[in-house]
Structure 1
């Protein structure tokens, strides 16, 4: 699906669920209305890294969105805000991440290093939950790594580096590896706080995730200050300040910078 003119936005979505795919396509069509865009669906992926590289090969836009199919962006100003952040010199933008990392998960360096805010709507639960991990006084914070639920890259980023589909050949750690690799090359990675987003999942941290965590540590051992083949400790628990809401409209109304900043400060005080 694409506009007829050369697009300024390319949205790449990996999905095997027709219903989820139709819903997320409709969402991006609304968010990007009035802009030139294309939507690239990958429905037979061997891994997310492999799928996203195929999407990059087809993409014509200057801004590339790598999106899960189970999110809902609640801000009609999404495109304008992302364009402003990219214009400030950021090369890769996400919604949660960390300014330092020591292991194969983005919150590994502890609560003081975490950034972001994400709403969650796991299936079967009666309420939505807003998780605030850490907020700065600005709308976007520099980071070393970001979570992959939705990432937006400037064309200069994907021209510099593609995803490592050989090492990360499943559906985990492609995001940390890509963002950390760009950071190590001197490109600017950031976490936005000014765009409300819902994720209809809580993630999966089973055997495949553990294997790819080890692969991440082996690949980046020198930068992490680790011994590549040393046994990995139990992961640190992800810390967040959590608030519950009955519906998306209520969560959206609460999502102001002042409220998020207060929640982030409260979360960090709890960890002292």
Structure 2
């Protein structure tokens, strides 16, 4: 009933998650795993191939460094799609607002809840302690969003026939999830499920490859961004965009981009996107403070 597709780089992790699925899914399933330890193939290419090979109508794309802690979670997934034919994609973390500014799935939060998630997080690259993080302010089982994180995604063959992963643009391991979410969202609802709890054993990271793929994503979707399913005022959108741009500028500084590149990045956004003159000059001012005065961003 569910075809699980995994791009694997670690046999031990794959064995562990395979055993976990066997004891927790609660419905007939198959695992279609591709070993990609050398990173020669992008995740979009692998996911598209896996979907073509799938025997069942429900497709689940998941990372291998997770454990699913909910018993009979396959029944929950199937019920979600059977109850709501407008539902096209579910995950465990996402946002109902996607900024124009280059970013991951989360959006800056001010007066309106836009980020929704439920998972247990471990940390491989820091001394932070494992914690369960959950934000479900409306108490719903499903919360509609614009974009989802790709650690665990479920869809259907019907949806996939209209919206596959963009392997021609994204040849690595970043932004496939946001792009797929935005594609599915043009035809179906996208949602975070709170019925399924996942334990994730590594945190995300940012590098120059992530940044360049994020620029590709935003260039592809710039005519539709920012995108929201919340009633957000122009004033609040401006605040969220300012914070998101400051975050990406701060990441770029930490990634070692030159000052020239940073200022050109802002100029290009002003020229080709919907960034206002007022916001542009505010960002230039803050960028100068970050570069020369060491100002940080929350």
Query: TM-score normalized by structure 2?
Result: 0.70
Unmatched runs of 5 consecutive residues or more in structure 1: 1-7, 227-231, 238-272
Q: How far apart, CA to CA, are the structure 2 residues paired with 1:234 and 1:210?
A: 14
Tell me, yes or no, if the aligned pair for 2:97 and 2:226 is still in contact at 8 Å: no
Q: How much does 1:188 deviate?
A: 1.2
Q: Structure 2 matches for 1:91-110, cutoff 5 A?
A: 91-102=88-99, 103-108=102-107, 110=109
CA distance in 1 between counterparts of 2:104 and 2:93 reads 11
Kept after mapping to 2: 8 A contact 1:116/1:135: no
Deviations 1:184-224 (A, max 9, x none): x2211110112221111110111111111101110000000
Aligned to 2:151: 149
SS at 1:198's partner residue?
strand
| Separation in 2, partners of 1:115, 1:22 | 30
Q: 10, 14, 21: which one pairs with 1:21? A: 14
> What is the distance in 2 between the residues matched to 1:173 and 1:133?
23
RMSD (Å) for aligned C-alpha atoms: 2.1
Which residue does the alignment assign to 1:136? 138
Distance (Å, rounded) in 2 between the aligned partners of 1:74 and 1:138:
19
Q: 2:79 & 2:181 partners in 1: Cα distance?
A: 20
Whichever of the two has the greater Rg, that structure is 2
Aligned length: 223
In structure 1, which of residues 160, 178, 184 is the aligned counterpart of residue 162 of structure 2?
Answer: 160
Aligned counterpart, 2:289: none
CA distance in 2, matches of 1:175, 1:158: 13
Q: Distance in 2 between matches of 1:173 and 1:159?
A: 20
Q: Deviations over 1:85-113 (max 9, x none)?
A: 11223211000001120144211353621
Note closer, same or farther for the CA distance 1:126–1:120 as it changes in structure 2 (3 Å cut).
Answer: same
Structure (1/2) with the larger helix percentage: 2
| TM-score normalised by length of structure 1 | 0.76
Is the CA contact 1:100–1:109 (under 8 Å) kept in the aligned structure 2?
no
Q: 1:65-214 maps to which residues of 2 (within 5 A)?
A: 65-87=60-82, 88-89=84-85, 90-102=87-99, 103-108=102-107, 110=109, 112-123=113-124, 125=127, 127-183=129-185, 185-214=186-215
Measure, in 2, the Cα distance between the counterparts of 1:22 and 1:106.
Answer: 29
